[in-house]
């Protein structure tokens, strides 16, 4: 039976299911309240505790917390020495922050196309886009699946480039059984509520390099230091020096206390995400025209996002109608991402449509389905039911 439009039938759900959502419990609330009752709302002990928890989870020596993942990327671009005239290569299938950090430092983002299977940046296209001005490579572990980090590392080592991994999607993921956090010179995690664990707003850079660690600490706090090892002189106990033009990008103790409590739940959250992804994979295995997310055997994703792609030859309508029909079923679908260089600001800078054809084809056909650990089994079944209903309505 094919309904002529999806609006005439009763929606699969009566209330909207969002595509992502945090999971806060009483323990999280208690740990924030404890900070509120104490002496330090910011610049207290919870920040270092949270940083230690993230460094340990990521297998890295140092962690530096920032007020957001975007601020953390800015810090990494600064620590990498990106400046006027320098280029950094990244993917267009990402959130704008991955390349904006290069612009903040007056550098030039260069976009390499994605692989058609994993949707991660393609090392072969990175190689084609290297120039004498390339200073850094910024791969993104898209959806939670690590990029081809060994190939990227090899390209970087040949030319002395810095690798900054945007791991906003991939906390808890592994690549060739190595943890994300051990694969790049600097790795960024975001703690926005849609990510694996949250601090409300927050970001962390992990690194094994002491030099980057020191620069990141300076950068997040005005470029000011009181570290006796860094001071040029000493005029007294009040004395400090400003060595760089830094920003005020610090995380507060309130946010860090929430993050510390949330980190204890990371593994169970990631397990639940993997479980939901495998239920989707199974349910969509026999739906012609629906492409499920390919997983490279080198990776074990932490599944920030789950998207399907539509093979247009199979359907009577395009992506937009599919999207609207799923929303009409109260399934809070989304689209990740508009290729960054197609955003009006980047167009004004002179980036041209057509730059990365595989990324553009991908964008045209992708729909992100709800995926977050707090989803009930019924929520998961509602999504599956809605996809099958729309599939039946629009399949040739
Ligand atoms: C979430 C995200 C960031 C950083 O976001 P913040 O909201 O600033 O923490 C950066 N890159 C990607 C790919 C992201 O998804």
Under 8 Å between Cβ of 218 and 211: no
- 3-state SS class at 138: strand
What is the distance in A from the centroid of ligand 1 to the CA of 284?
29
Q: What is the mean pLDDT of residues 342-358?
A: 98
| DSSP type of residue 38 | S
State whether the beta carbon of 198 lies less than 6 angstroms from ligand 1: no
Question: 9 falls in which pLDDT band (50, 70, 90)?
Answer: confident
- Ligand 1 neighbour 259 (Cβ under 6 A): no
Ligand 1 pocket mutation, candidates 77, 168, 170, criterion most atoms within 8 A of CB: 168
Domain positions in the chain: 5-21+266-394, 26-263
Binned at pLDDT 50, 70 and 90, residue 1 comes out as very low
Task: Enter the CATH code of domain 26-263.
Answer: 3.40.640.10
Q: Is the CB of 95 under 6 A from ligand 1?
A: yes
CA of 182 to the centre of ligand 1 (A): 19
Taking the centre of ligand 1 as the mean of its atom positions, its distance from the CA of residue 279, in whole angstroms, is 27
How far is 360 from 355, CA to CA, in rounded Å?
9
At residue 174, the 3 state secondary structure works out as strand
Over residues 382-386, the mean pLDDT reads: 98
Which pLDDT band, with edges at 50, 70 and 90, does 356 fall under? very high
Residue whose CA is closest, atom 9 of ligand 1? 69
Distance 75 CA to ligand 1 centre (A): 14
Burial of 260 per CB tally in 10 Å (0-12, 13-18, 19+): buried
Q: Which of 7-21, 132-146, 280-294, 340-354 has the lowest mean pLDDT?
A: 7-21
pLDDT at 5 over 60: no
Q: Residue 21: is its pLDDT beyond 80?
A: yes
Taking residues 1-23, what's their average pLDDT? 80
| Distance separating alpha carbons of residues 66 and 51, to the nearest angstrom | 10
Give the pLDDT mean for 146-173: 98
Q: How far is the CA of 20 from the centre of ligand 1 (A)?
A: 14
Q: What are the residue numbers of the active site?
A: 195
Read off the pLDDT of residues 240-260 as tens digits, 9 standing for 90 and up: 999 999 999 999 999 999 999
* Residue 366 Cα distances to 139, 318, 335, angstroms: 20, 11, 6
Distance CA 134, CA 82 (A): 9
Please report, for residues 87, 96, 339, 351, 354, the alpha-carbon distance to residue 344 in angstroms, rounded to integers and kept in the order given: 20, 12, 11, 10, 15
What is d(CA 236, CA 234) in angstroms, rounded to the nearest whole number?
6
Secondary element (H or E) of residue 99? helix 97-104
Atom of ligand 1 nearest to the CA of 203: 9
From 1.10.1060.10, 3.30.450.20, 3.90.1150.10, 3.40.50.300, which CATH number describes the 5-21+266-394 domain? 3.90.1150.10
Q: Does ligand 1 come within 6 angstroms of the Cβ of 262?
A: no
Question: What integer is the mean pLDDT of 327-339?
Answer: 98
Span 176-194, average pLDDT: 98
Mapped onto helix, strand or coil, the DSSP state of residue 3 is coil
Model confidence at 32, pLDDT cuts 50, 70, 90, reads very high
The dihedral over CA atoms of 253, 254, 260, 262, expressed in degrees to the nearest 10, equals: -160
Give the mean model confidence (pLDDT) for residues 388-393. 97
CB 339 less than 6 A from any atom of ligand 1: no
Range 156-184 average pLDDT: 98
For the full predicted model, state whether its pTM sits above 0.85: yes
**pLDDT single digits (tens) 70-129:** 999 999 999 999 999 999 999 999 999 999 999 999 999 999 999 999 999 999 999 999
Residue 358 has pLDDT above 50, yes or no: yes
């Amino acid at each position: 039976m094919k309904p002529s439009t999806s609006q005439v039938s009763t929606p699969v759900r009566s209330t909207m299911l969002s595509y992502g959502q945090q999971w806060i419990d009483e323990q999280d609330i208690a740990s924030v309240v404890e900070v509120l009752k104490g002496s330090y709302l910011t610049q207290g002990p919870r920040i270092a505790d949270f940083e230690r928890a993230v460094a340990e989870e990521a297998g890295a020596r140092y962690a530096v917390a920032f007020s957001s993942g975007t601020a953390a990327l800015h810090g990494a671009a600064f620590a990498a020495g990106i400046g006027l005239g320098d280029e950094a290569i990244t993917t267009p299938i990402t959130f704008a922050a991955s390349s904006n950090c290069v612009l903040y430092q007056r550098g030039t983002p260069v976009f390499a196309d994605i692989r058609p299977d994993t949707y991660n940046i393609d090392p072969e296209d990175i190689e084609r886009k290297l120039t004498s001005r390339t200073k850094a490579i910024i791969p993104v572990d898209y959806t939670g699946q690590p990029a081809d980090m060994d190939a990227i590392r090899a390209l970087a080592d040949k030319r002395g480039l810095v690798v900054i991994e945007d791991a906003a999607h991939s906390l808890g993921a592994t690549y060739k059984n190595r943890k994300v956090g051990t694969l790049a010179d600097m790795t960024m995690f975001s703690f926005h509520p849609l990510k694996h664990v949250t601090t409300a707003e927050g970001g962390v850079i992990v690194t094994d390099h002491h030099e980057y660690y020191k620069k990141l600490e300076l950068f997040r706090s005005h470029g000011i230091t009181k570290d006796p090892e860094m001071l040029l002189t000493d005029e007294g106990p009040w004395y400090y020096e400003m060595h760089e033009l830094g920003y005020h990008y610090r995380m507060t103790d309130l946010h860090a206390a929430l993050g510390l409590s949330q980190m204890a739940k990371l593994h169970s959250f990631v397990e639940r995400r993997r479980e939901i992804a495998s239920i989707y994979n199974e349910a969509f295995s026999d739906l012609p025209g629906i492409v499920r997310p390919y997983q490279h055997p080198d990776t074990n994703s932490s599944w920030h996002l789950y998207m399907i792609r539509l093979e247009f030859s199979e359907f009577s309508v395009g992506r937009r109608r599919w999207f609207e029909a799923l929303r009409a079923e109260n399934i809070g679908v989304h689209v990740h991402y508009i290729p960054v260089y197609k955003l009006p600001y980047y167009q004004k800078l002179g980036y041209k449509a057509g730059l990365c054809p595989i990324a553009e084809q991908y964008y045209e056909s992708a729909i992100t389905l709800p995926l977050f650990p707090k989803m009930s089994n019924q929520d998961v079944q509602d999504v599956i039911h809605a996809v099958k209903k729309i599939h039946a309505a629009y399949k040739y």
